[in-house]
Structure 1
C-alpha cells in the first residue's frame, strides 16, 4: 500500500506542474567526464591513460577565419581527431535548465551533429590547419593512447601567420654526418629560421637554440620522448645499484649511453633529469648548426638527434635524426713466428705506442698442438709483460725479467703472443711518456713445437761457473758448472783479454748467441746427465793457455727446443810462474 501511495503522489506532481519532466532530468544529471577547455596560445599538457579517450573543447572568436591545432605526442604513438558541432540555433542565454551545466552540455541539448574534419595516428608532432566554421560552433579534440600511459601537449592558434610558440623547422629537417672518426662524429643540419643571431628574451642570448642528444639505442621523435628515455635509463641504473646493495651514489660511468646538454627552459619540468650527465662537446645554448661530438667509443654505433628548443614557451621541434658508427681502433700488425726461429724484438718504453706493444702468432706442428715459448731480455733492468691467448681467451699472463723465461703453450690450435714493455723495477705500470724516449728494451724470443713433452724443460740449479784455484796452472784451468737430470749438450767458449785492454767489464752479454761467436773461441762440447739434481755437477779442463793471461769462459746449455741457456761469464787468469 505504501508503494502505491508514493507512485500516486509522484504522478500527481509530474502532471500537475508544467515542464516538470524537462526540469527534473537536467537537475539530476551528472556529467560523465569533466569538461576541459583548450585555451588559445597556450600549451596544454594532457595525461592520457591507456585505452581511455580524453576530449578537449574550444570555440573560436567571431573574427577568426583560420585556426591551427598542434598536437605533440611524447614517447608512444597516439590517435587524435578534430571534430566540429555547429548549432542551427544559438543556445538561449538563459536556458530553462539549471545553470550548473557546462557550456558543451548546452550544445549537446541543441540541434546539430558532429562532423569529423581531421584524423591522425602516429608519434610525430602534427598540425591541422583549416578554416573556421560558423561562429556558433564548438570544436572537439579527441586524444587516445592504445599502448601505454603517456603525456600529450596540445596548442591552439587563431588567425593567419605562424603562432611563434613552436620553433620552425626547415623544409628538409635532416641531420647530416660530415665526418666520422674513431672517437668523434661531426654533424650538421639546415638552420632553423626561428634561431637567429640576436639578443633574446633575457637580453644576452637567443631564446631559441639547438640541443644535441647522443645515445646508442635509437632516435627520438620528440624532446618529451628523449626525457622519458633518460628517466627510464636512470631508474634502471638505480634499481641495479639497489640490487647490488652498494649503497653508493650512481656512478657516472653507468650512464655512458646518454649525453645531454641541459636547456634552461626545461629545468622546471624535472631538474633532476639533467643532473650529472656528461657534456657531449656541443653547447646546448648555441645557434650554430654544426657540432662535433667527441669522447665516443671506437667501433660503436650511435644515434644523434637535434632539437630546436624555445626556452620562453617551453616548446621544441625535432629534426630527423641520424646514426653513425665510429671507426675501429687501428689494430697492430701481427708477426708470424716460424718453427724454431730466433726473433729479436725491440720495444720502446711507451706501451701505448705501437713500438711499446707487439703481437706475434705461433701455430705449433703436430696433432698435440703444444709448444714452448722461450724469452730472454737483454737489459738487466727491463721487464716485459707476456700475455698468451687463443681464440680470444687469455691462457696465461706473466712478467719476464732478466732471467730466461720458458712458457708452455697448450690449450689451443694457435697462439697470440703479446709483448708489452714495463717500467724498470715495477711490476704493474707502463713506462711514463717522459722516459719512453730514453727506454728501449731488447729481447730475443723463440717458439718451437714439442711433440713429446708435457712440461717445460728444467733449468740448472744455478748458472754460476766455478773455478778451482788449486787446479789452476800456467797453461790450464779447471771449471765446473751445474747441469740437469736431462741429457743435454754443454759447450764451453773462451775469450782472451789482452794485457793492454782498458775494458773493465769482462762478462759477455747474456743475449750473445753461440752462433754469433767465432769458431776459434769454442773450446769443447760435451753431453751430461745426472738424475740426482744435487750431484748434477760436471767439470772441464781447459788447456793450451798462455801463462799469466786472463781468459773469460762462457758455458752454453744447448737444447733442441728453446733458446740456449747462457751461464754467467767467469774470468780466470793462468799462473805466471809454475
Structure 2
C-alpha cells in the first residue's frame, strides 16, 4: 500500500515538472500529437531527388535561395500523370532559435505554419517533363513544392538549380522535338529526329540515344518504359512459375528454372516481350527491323545522360508496316448470280469475294453449287479475321447463313485435281472446275430456307396420255413457287447435258416454261404436289425440269425427268 502511494506521488511530480518546463514552448505552435516531418523535406540544390508519390496524398518539398539571382525547378514524372505546383511564402517573423530546437516540428514546418503570405507562382499537370525557370522571387522567405498523383501511386524526380542558365543535369531537346518517319516497309521502319544540342557539348561522350519500339502506346519517359517492361517480365515469370508447378519432371524442373533465371538476367531491362529498346550510338537516323507485316508500332526516342541517369523524351510517332501483297477481292452485289471458274494453273487455286448484307438485321444467305469438274472446292466465310464456317462444295447445294457482321469475306479454294484420264491429259488453260454462287440479304429470316427431302421427280404411267403427262415432286413447309419447264429430247446423246444440275431457269427460254404454282405443306412427310402438263405431241420424248424458285439464294433444280407420251390412245 505504501509502495503504491509512493509511485502515485512520483507520477504526479513528473507531470508537474514536464508541464512547467515545456508548456511555454508548445502552447501556441506545437501540439503534443504532432510529429516531425521526414528529413528529406528540404530540397537539396544540384542533386536529383526521387520522390515516391502515394495515390491521393500531397508530398511537399521546401527550399530557400542563397542570394541567387535566378533559379529553375525541373520535375520529371515516371509512369503516370501528376500535378505539381511551386509557391513562394513570405514570413513576417522568422522562427526563434529556441522554437527550432525545442519543438517537435521540423524546420520547414515551423516556417510554413508561421504568419505570412503565400503566392502560387507555377502549376503543371501531365506526364511530361516540366521545367520552371525564373528570377528569384524578391520577397520570398521559403519556397514550397507540392506534388500530387491522383490516378495511382507513382514516382517523380525533382532537380533544383540555383543561378542563371541551364542546369546541365538534363539533356537538351531541340526546337523540333518530333520523331519523323523516313520510310516504312513490311518488316522495317526508318526514323529520323533533330540532333540534341547536348551531343555538341564538350561532354558529348556521356550522351546517347535510346530508340524504343512497341505495339501498345508511346511512352513519355524512359522510366515509364522500364516500369512497363518490368511488369511484363513479372507476368512472364508468373506464367512460367505456374507451368513449372505442373511439370511432370521433378528432377529436371529445378535445373531448367535456374537456367531460365540466368538467361533472363542477361537481358536488358527493356528487351522483354514486344518492348524493344536500343540505347547506343549518337546517330539521329535509325532503322528498326524484324517487325511484323501489317502491324501498328509506336516509336519513341530518348536522349540519355548516362552519368547523371537522366533522360529527355522526343515526341514519339506511330507507323503501320505494309502488309503482304494480298489477293484481289471482288465485291458481290445483292442477289448477283456469279460463276466462279478455276483453270488448270497448278495444284491449288483460290478466289476472294466480299459481301455486305442490306438492312439493319445484317442477315444474309450464301448459296453455292459445284457445277462440274474433277476438283473439290472449299468455301470459307470469315469476318474481321475470324473464321465463321467452312463448307465443302460438292454436288449438293450448300447454304451458309450470314448473321452478326457487316462485311463477310468469302474464300473459294480448289483443293486438288481428281486423278482421272481426262484430268491427267488436260492441257494448261482448260476449265477444270466451275462453282455457281449467289449472295442475298435475308431481311427478316432467322435461318436458312428449308430444302425438299428429295429432288427426284416422279411420273405416273397410268396417267400418261398422248398429249399430257402427270408429274409429282416433294415440296417444303414454306410457301414457295415451283416452275416446270419442258423440252423435246432430239437425241439420246444430249441426255447427260440436259440433266446438268446447274442449268438454271435464267438459261431457259420463256417458251419452255409451261407451269408455275405455289405450294406449302406444314408436314414435310406429306409435302407432295402434282401437276398435269398438257398440249404435248403424241409419241414424243420430253425432258421436264422442275425449279424451286426462291427469294433468297440460287433456284433449286430437281433431277430432270424424261417422259415419252403415248403414241396411240
- TM-score by length of structure 2 reads 0.56
Determine the structure 2 residue equivalent to 1:67. 71
Matched, 1:226 2:166: no
CA distance in 1, matches of 2:498, 2:323: 45
Determine the structure 1 residue equivalent to 2:379. 388
Relative distance call for 1:182 and 1:198 in structure 2 (3 A) is: farther
1:285 to partner: Cα distance: 0.5
Relative distance call for 1:318 and 1:127 in structure 2 (3 A) is: same
Determine the structure 1 residue equivalent to 2:306. 311
Determine the structure 2 residue equivalent to 1:320. 315
Matched, 1:123 2:63: no
Q: 1:411 aligns with which of 384, 399, 403?
A: 399
Matched, 1:330 2:358: no
CA distance in 1, matches of 2:111, 2:238: 51
CA distance in 1, matches of 2:340, 2:312: 66
1:21 to partner: Cα distance: 3.3
CA distance in 2, matches of 1:362, 1:409: 20
CA contact (8 A) 1:300 1:326 kept: yes
Q: How does 1:6-17 map to 2 (within 5 A)?
A: none
CA distance in 1, matches of 2:138, 2:71: 13
1:371 to partner: Cα distance: 0.7
CA distance in 1, matches of 2:95, 2:152: 39
CA distance in 2, matches of 1:214, 1:316: 17
1:334 to partner: Cα distance: 5.3
Q: 1:49 aligns with which of 49, 54, 67?
A: 54
> 1:432-475 deviations in whole A, cap 9, x for unaligned?
xxxxxxxx998722225799998999xxxxxxxxxxxxxxxxxx
Instruction: Give 3-state SS (helix, strand or coil) of 1:369's partner.
Output: strand
Determine the structure 2 residue equivalent to 1:445. 433
CA distance in 2, matches of 1:455, 1:415: 28
CA contact (8 A) 1:303 1:324 kept: yes
Relative distance call for 1:174 and 1:447 in structure 2 (3 A) is: same
CA distance in 1, matches of 2:26, 2:275: 66
CA distance in 2, matches of 1:456, 1:371: 15
Determine the structure 2 residue equivalent to 1:381. none
CA distance in 2, matches of 1:271, 1:286: 19
Matched, 1:177 2:165: no
1:100 to partner: Cα distance: 7.3
Q: 2:156 aligns with which of 128, 144, 152?
A: 152
Unaligned runs of 5+ in 2: 248-263, 356-364, 402-408, 420-427, 439-449, 457-490, 504-569
Q: How does 1:262-277 map to 2 (within 5 A)?
A: 273-277=269-273
Q: 2:88 aligns with which of 77, 80, 84?
A: 84
CA distance in 1, matches of 2:290, 2:414: 28
Determine the structure 2 residue equivalent to 1:252. none
Task: Identify which range, 221-230 or 157-166, moves more after superposition.
Answer: 221-230
Instruction: Give 3-state SS (helix, strand or coil) of 2:87's partner.
Output: strand
Greater fraction helix:
2
CA contact (8 A) 1:84 1:117 kept: yes
CA contact (8 A) 1:61 1:135 kept: no
1:192 to partner: Cα distance: 1.1
CA contact (8 A) 1:181 1:327 kept: yes
1:79 to partner: Cα distance: 1.8
CA distance in 1, matches of 2:399, 2:242: 38
Q: How does 1:549-564 map to 2 (within 5 A)?
A: 560-561=500-501
CA distance in 2, matches of 1:407, 1:239: 53
Relative distance call for 1:341 and 1:189 in structure 2 (3 A) is: closer
CA distance in 1, matches of 2:171, 2:412: 58
Matched, 1:359 2:363: no
